[in-house]
């Protein structure tokens, strides 16, 4: 059965995933209307759904059907996805259908304005191995003389079917507190989720899930969407009084306008959607599968255990100190050594040197070669921290090119962390940035870049440019292009996305990076929540998680080393502590735990994740890979000192007997599913355990 079907009599398209269907139709006025997003149905059934009369038509609500990409014009009063103004002052659009074509799972529907030279292509893409539908748009000015003003150009609008009630799950946060999951009723209103910061942001992640208020982790219908964009974005969720809930999203935030030059076509980023009937857990697992199969470039690679110098040495890096850390890291079993901030220019603190990407001659008198060589001699790969989009005013770069930063005439240049943002929308700035990165990677055969961005945009102007708001798009596109070029020219290079922790995690950045630095907060208690939110969309394989020192630098909380490890082992394990200060006992325990991680790593990084909640304050994650299972359970506090009940597992086969690879204890799958896995948790707070189960025989 082809993935895209068309019924010419009813002008209806049906897109099919393995277990779901999405249907749209062309209305009499040639607008594309939403019909169905949910369980599989046939073309005939979809036609019947399409013929249903929309409720609530009245003289105040003439267009009660839901548009696939609402424009301004006609009796439409909800949030438009596409807003344009033509040179004569006319706003709004009236479409004429101009045909469609299907290429495998890619459907393109072409619409032309009836009078003006505006053309739109609605893109839909489905794959045989995923229920995720990718959508985006291309908007084109077909005139050869006059520009068109674009006030909004979203990638897609999504619609949930009629339900009595609606709830939205979204991720909020801040620096050190990213990915906090919030679930709230959808107000009968327009609710805006947005980043005006030029990066995805810590504060909101461009991912929403809508349900009818009854879905749980393992049951219920969920309509979830995620935008593949790493700059400013906006998603407007609209619940109308007659009971429809729709949401439209794309790049840019409110108030920006772009000029579509004569002959120009603008492609929006992918806004992907997924319907699942198995609750939030099933939704996450389907997204994880999609990210692996359709977003990541190296999904089958196992991410190495890394060491990062930041929490150990801060800006005080030098050849001798880093070599000493590297030796300790290697002796623990670390596979990738990453030197963080402070290695270049006059960068002895956050106020100076950013932008001067040559090794500091005092700290590295012979350049980076001796350190890189020693790291490799110790059997590790070599990685470096960079922050290519930023500059300290106190730097040679800024002194030479003060016009390269985002700025506005007659406005102060707001400094955050003593730095300004380079305007990578400028071809010269972007070219220069690519050139130094390319030289750096080539000169040292760098295996890994931690690509940081430590401040949002302010005074985002582009003096002299005729369409200055374009920088909100062009900067992000330039970041993508630079990463893509570097990766093409240096196939061994791997990149970690970071923006002061998890400020830039999205499907767009994951298409050109391999993992995300989840948060600067490495406190394991806080991390349990952060990781829980992160896992709603992103797989463990991309979730950077370090073990650092106790008390924690961010929270001053003291926790046992084992607990810190067990929390970090739920993602891509890294070590970020000051190894020079670790005791022999701690180093010995770390060796054992890193070895244990390497044994479970294929299951964690390539397996399927199930979020489990035990009783009280117990939280656990189970990873399943074939018939192998890994359970990581954490109990940050133990109210009343009560023992925790056994933890009921999922996804094990009832008829199989499993052995704990550590203790040798055996359990029938039926028992693990029924009464659960007894947990051997130490007494007291910050208790945790790791259980690795394999079938007996």
Q: Which residues are catalytic?
A: 452, 520
Query: Is residue 340 near ligand DGJ by the rule CB under 6 A?
Result: yes
Output the smallest distance, CB 676 to ligand DGJ, in A: 38
Output the smallest distance, CB 502 to ligand DGJ, in A: 8
Query: Is residue 523 near ligand DGJ by the rule CB under 6 A?
Result: no
In the complex with ligand DGJ, the residue whose CB is nearer, 284 or 454, is 454
Query: Is residue 341 near ligand DGJ by the rule CB under 6 A?
Result: yes
Output the smallest distance, CB 473 to ligand DGJ, in A: 25
Stretch that binds ligand DGJ, among 274-282, 429-437, 498-506, 661-669 (CB under 6 A): 498-506
Pick one of 452, 506, 523, 685: the residue that binds ligand DGJ (CB under 6 A).
452
Output the smallest distance, CB 517 to ligand DGJ, in A: 5
Q: Which residue is nearest to ligand DGJ (CB)?
A: 341
Beta sheet of 148-153, edge-to-edge order:
82-85, 148-153, 258-260
In the complex with ligand DGJ, the residue whose CB is nearer, 452 or 474, is 452
Query: Considering only CA atoms, which of 165, 288, 270, 291 is closest in space to residue 221?
Result: 165
Place of tokens 């993602």: 571
Stretch that binds ligand DGJ, among 55-63, 371-379, 495-503, 563-571 (CB under 6 A): 495-503
Tokens of 18: 């393995």
Beta sheet of 608-613, edge-to-edge order:
608-613, 619-625, 628-635, 687-695, 657-660, 666-668
Q: Is the dihedral of CA 309, 313, 319, 323 positive or negative?
A: negative
Q: At what angle do helices 319-332 and 584-606 cross, to 10 degrees?
A: 70
CA-CA distance, 574 to 383, in Å (whole number)?
13
Query: Is residue 3 near ligand DGJ by the rule CB under 6 A?
Result: no
CA-CA distance, 84 to 89, in Å (whole number)?
10
In the complex with ligand DGJ, the residue whose CB is nearer, 340 or 529, is 340
Query: Is residue 193 near ligand DGJ by the rule CB under 6 A?
Result: no
CA-CA distance, 173 to 167, in Å (whole number)?
19
CA-CA distance, 69 to 124, in Å (whole number)?
12
Output the smallest distance, CB 137 to ligand DGJ, in A: 34
Query: Is residue 454 near ligand DGJ by the rule CB under 6 A?
Result: yes
C-beta of residue 125 within 8 angstroms of C-beta of residue 13: no
CA-CA distance, 259 to 272, in Å (whole number)?
26
Output the smallest distance, CB 170 to ligand DGJ, in A: 23
User: What residues between 383 and 402 interact with ligand DGJ by CB under 6 A?
Assistant: 385
C-beta of residue 167 within 8 angstroms of C-beta of residue 158: no
C-beta of residue 406 within 8 angstroms of C-beta of residue 421: yes
C-beta of residue 200 within 8 angstroms of C-beta of residue 217: no
Output the smallest distance, CB 393 to ligand DGJ, in A: 17
In the complex with ligand DGJ, the residue whose CB is nearer, 107 or 554, is 554
In the complex with ligand DGJ, the residue whose CB is nearer, 341 or 356, is 341
In the complex with ligand DGJ, the residue whose CB is nearer, 67 or 452, is 452
Beta strands 148-153 and 306-308, pairing class: unpaired
CA-CA distance, 553 to 577, in Å (whole number)?
10
CA-CA distance, 199 to 663, in Å (whole number)?
47
Query: Is residue 498 near ligand DGJ by the rule CB under 6 A?
Result: yes
In the complex with ligand DGJ, the residue whose CB is nearer, 524 or 614, is 524
Query: Is residue 335 near ligand DGJ by the rule CB under 6 A?
Result: no
SS3 83: strand
Output the smallest distance, CB 467 to ligand DGJ, in A: 32
Stretch that binds ligand DGJ, among 81-89, 165-173, 497-505, 563-571 (CB under 6 A): 497-505
In the complex with ligand DGJ, the residue whose CB is nearer, 73 or 393, is 393
Output the smallest distance, CB 500 to ligand DGJ, in A: 5
Specify the DSSP class assigned to residue 319: H
CA-CA distance, 163 to 499, in Å (whole number)?
38
Query: Considering only CA atoms, which of 526, 694, 527, 515 is closest in space to residue 605?
Result: 515
Query: Is residue 73 near ligand DGJ by the rule CB under 6 A?
Result: no
Q: Which residues are within 8 A (CB) of 417 and not within 5 positions of it... i.e. 6 or more apart? A: 350, 454, 455
Query: Is residue 501 near ligand DGJ by the rule CB under 6 A?
Result: yes
Pick one of 335, 520, 526, 549: the residue that binds ligand DGJ (CB under 6 A).
520
User: What residues between 549 and 608 interact with ligand DGJ by CB under 6 A?
Assistant: none
Beta bridge partners of 153: 82
User: What residues between 309 and 328 interact with ligand DGJ by CB under 6 A?
Assistant: 310
Query: Is residue 355 near ligand DGJ by the rule CB under 6 A?
Result: no
How many residues sit in the footprint of ligand DGJ (CB under 6 A)? 11
Query: Is residue 82 near ligand DGJ by the rule CB under 6 A?
Result: no
CA-CA distance, 54 to 130, in Å (whole number)?
31
Beta bridge partners of 381: 336
Query: Is residue 517 near ligand DGJ by the rule CB under 6 A?
Result: yes
In the complex with ligand DGJ, the residue whose CB is nearer, 94 or 418, is 418
Residues that bind ligand DGJ (CB under 6 A): 310, 340-341, 385, 452, 454, 498, 500-501, 517, 520
């Amino acid at each position: 059965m082809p993935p895209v079907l068309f019924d010419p009599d009813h002008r209806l398209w049906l897109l099919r995933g393995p277990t779901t269907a999405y249907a749209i139709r062309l209305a009499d006025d040639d607008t594309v209307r939403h019909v169905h997003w949910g369980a599989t149905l046939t073309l005939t059934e979809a036609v019947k759904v399409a013929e249903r009369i929309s409720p609530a038509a009245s003289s105040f609500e003439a267009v009660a059907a839901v548009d696939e990409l609402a424009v301004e014009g006609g009796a439409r009063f909800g949030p438009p996805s596409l807003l344009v103004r033509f040179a004569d002052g006319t706003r709004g659009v009236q479409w004429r259908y101009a045909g469609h074509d299907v290429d495998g799972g890619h459907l393109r529907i072409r619409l032309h304005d009836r009078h003006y030279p505006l053309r739109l292509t609605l893109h839909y893409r489905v794959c045989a191995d995923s229920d995720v539908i990718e959508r985006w748009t291309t908007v084109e000015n077909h005139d050869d003389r006059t520009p068109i003003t674009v006030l909004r150009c979203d990638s897609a609008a999504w619609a949930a079917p009629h339900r009595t009630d609606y709830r939205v799950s979204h991720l909020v946060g801040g620096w050190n507190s990213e990915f906090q999951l919030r679930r709230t009723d959808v107000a009968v209103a327009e609710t805006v989720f947005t980043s005006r910061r030029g990066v995805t942001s810590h504060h909101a992640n461009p991912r929403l899930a809508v349900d009818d208020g009854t879905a749980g982790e393992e049951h219920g219908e969920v309509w979830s969407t995620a935008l593949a964009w790493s700059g400013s974005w906006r998603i407007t969720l609209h619940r109308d009084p007659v009971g429809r809930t729709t949401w439209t999203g794309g790049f840019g935030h409110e108030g920006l306008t772009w000029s579509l030059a004569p002959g120009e076509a603008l492609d929006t980023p992918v806004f992907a959607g997924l319907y699942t009937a198995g609750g939030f857990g099933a939704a996450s697992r389907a997204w994880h599968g999609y990210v692996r199969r359709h977003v990541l470039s190296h999904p089958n690679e196992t991410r190495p255990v890394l060491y990062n110098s930041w929490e150990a040495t801060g800006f005080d890096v030098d050849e001798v100190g880093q070599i000493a850390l590297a030796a300790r890291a290697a002796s623990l079993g670390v596979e990738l050594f990453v030197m963080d901030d402070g290695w270049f220019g006059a960068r002895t603190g956050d106020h100076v040197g950013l932008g001067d990407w040559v090794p500091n001659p005092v700290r590295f008198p012979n350049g980076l070669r001796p350190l890189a060589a020693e790291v490799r001699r110790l059997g590790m790969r070599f990685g470096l921290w960079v922050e290519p989009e930023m500059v300290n005013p106190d730097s040679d770069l800024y002194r030479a090119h003060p016009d390269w930063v985002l700025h506005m005439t007659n406005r102060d240049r707001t400094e955050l962390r003593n730095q300004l943002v380079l305007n990578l929308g400028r071809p010269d700035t972007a070219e220069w940035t690519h050139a130094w990165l390319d030289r750096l990677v080539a000169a040292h055969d760098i295996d890994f870049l931690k690509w940081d961005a430590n401040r949002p945009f302010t005074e985002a102007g582009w003096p002299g440019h005729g369409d200055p708001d374009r920088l909100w798009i062009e900067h992000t596109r330039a970041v993508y292009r630079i990463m893509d070029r570097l990766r093409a020219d240096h196939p061994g290079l791997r990149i970690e996305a970071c923006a002061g922790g998890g400020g830039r995690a999205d499907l767009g950045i994951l298409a050109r990076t391999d993992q995300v630095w989840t948060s600067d907060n490495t406190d394991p208690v806080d991390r349990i929540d952060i990781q829980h939110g992160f896992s709603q969309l992103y797989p463990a394989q991309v979730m950077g998680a370090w073990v650092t020192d106790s008390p924690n630098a961010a929270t001053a909380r003291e926790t046992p080393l084992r607990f810190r490890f067990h929390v970090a082992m739920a993602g891509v394990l890294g070590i970020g502590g000051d190894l020079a200060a670790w005791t022999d006992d701690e180093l010995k325990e770390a060796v054992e735990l890193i070895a244990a991680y390497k044994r479970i790593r294929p299951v964690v990084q390539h397996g399927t994740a199930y979020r489990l909640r035990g009783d009280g304050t117990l939280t656990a994650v189970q990873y399943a890979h074939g018939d192998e299972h890994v359970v990581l359970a954490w109990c940050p506090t133990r109210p009343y000192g009560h023992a925790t009940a056994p933890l009921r597992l999922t996804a094990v086969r009832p008829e199989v007997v499993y052995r704990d690879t550590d203790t040798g204890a055996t359990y029938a799958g039926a028992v693990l599913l029924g009464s659960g896995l007894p947990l051997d948790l130490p007494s007291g707070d910050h208790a945790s355990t790791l259980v690795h189960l394999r079938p007996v025989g």
